[in-house]
Amino acid sequence: AQSVSQHNHHVILSEAASLELGCNYSYGGTVNLFWYVQYPGQHLQLLLKYFSGDPLVKGIKGFEAEFIKSKFSFNLRKPSVQWSDTAEYFCAVSPGKSTFGDGTTLTVKP
Amino acid sequence: NAGVTQTPKFRILKIGQSMTLQCTQDMNHNYMYWYRQDPGMGLKLIYYSVGAGITDKGEVPNGYNVSRSTTEDFPLRLELAAPSQTSVYFCASSYSGGQGTDTQYFGPGTRLTVL
């Protein structure tokens, strides 16, 4: 069975700071990896995903994530956060039924 | 495409009442899911389905029932509502067909309060 661990429960940053959210997974086979974002009061939506090819994937709003197979990691990054990035971020792994991490709440102070 | 739709958006129940949360998707996805989300607690999978006629329990199935008679619809039934079922409920769907698939699409959620 697959599992996902997100290291940070709550991250607080000032605008223009750089962001890195950790995600590690466990699964023995080929995986699809996802980051979803949930803005306050809204539902989850896809931020980016990786399934093959270039391990550095780019998503919406300047976010990117790097898949490091040897470390079973898929960390999310953004060079300069904005107040509007305040949200909860979920890492997930599949195949089939995805397993979600517990989420990281990001608060960006203006 | 409407994507994933859920009704109702809000509902208040009294203890012991029952209700059905409706979920419909128009993307011909084979997988559908029900989650609950409590403040600061992430997503908890209640039930999921890999196709019409097939359902399976998730992490927190007690107090809930589901059915999947069509590809499009996946209703969630609450019997004998309890205050512990106060939560936001999200329905989601995905197409699972191997590598590169499995992206989940979420509905707008139903905010349920049991008093």
Q: Is A1 exposed, middle or buried (0-12, 13-18, 19+ CB in 10 A)?
A: exposed
CA angle A81-A87-A92, nearest 5°?
A: 105
Three state DSSP letters for B18-44: CEEEEEEECCCCCEEEEEEECCCCCEE
- pLDDT number for residue B25: 98
Say yes or no: B74 contacts chain A, CB-CB below 8 A. Answer: no
Cβ of A36 within 8 Å of Cβ of B99? The answer is no
How far apart, in Å, are the Cα atoms of A57 and each of A18, A32, A54, A79, A106? 17, 12, 7, 14, 21
- How far away is chain B from the Cα of A15, in angstroms, using its nearest Cα? 23
> Is the model's pLDDT at B100 over the cut of 80?
no
Q: By the 8 A CB rule, do B47 and B66 touch?
A: yes
pLDDT for the residue B98: 81
Answer yes or no: do A96 and B50 touch at CB < 8 A. yes
Size of interface A-B (CB pairs under 8 A): 60
Distance CA B103, CA A53 (A): 17
Rounded to 10 degrees, the C-alpha dihedral A77/A103/A93/A47 comes to: -50
Cis peptide before A55 (omega within 30 of 0): no
Q: How far apart are CA A39 and CA A69, in angstroms?
A: 29
> Do residue B31 and residue A96 have CB atoms under 8 angstroms apart?
yes
pLDDT in tens, A12-46: 999 999 999 999 999 878 889 999 999 999 999 99
A46/B109 Cβ within 8 A: no
Q: Please tell me the predicted confidence (pLDDT) of residue B8.
A: 97
Q: Percent of chain A, pLDDT > 70?
A: 100
Closest Cα of chain A to B4: distance in Å?
Answer: 11
Burial string for B93-103 (b: 16+ CB within 10 Å, else e) reads: bbebeeeebbb
Question: Does the CB of B87 have a partner CB in chain A at under 8 Å?
Answer: no
Structure confidence by residue, pLDDT tens digits, B1-14: 789 999 999 999 99
CB burial class (10 A; 0-12, 13-18, 19+) of residue B106?
buried
Confidence tier at A49 by pLDDT (50, 70, 90): very high
Mean pLDDT of A4-14: 95
Can you tell me whether residue A97 is helix, strand or coil? coil
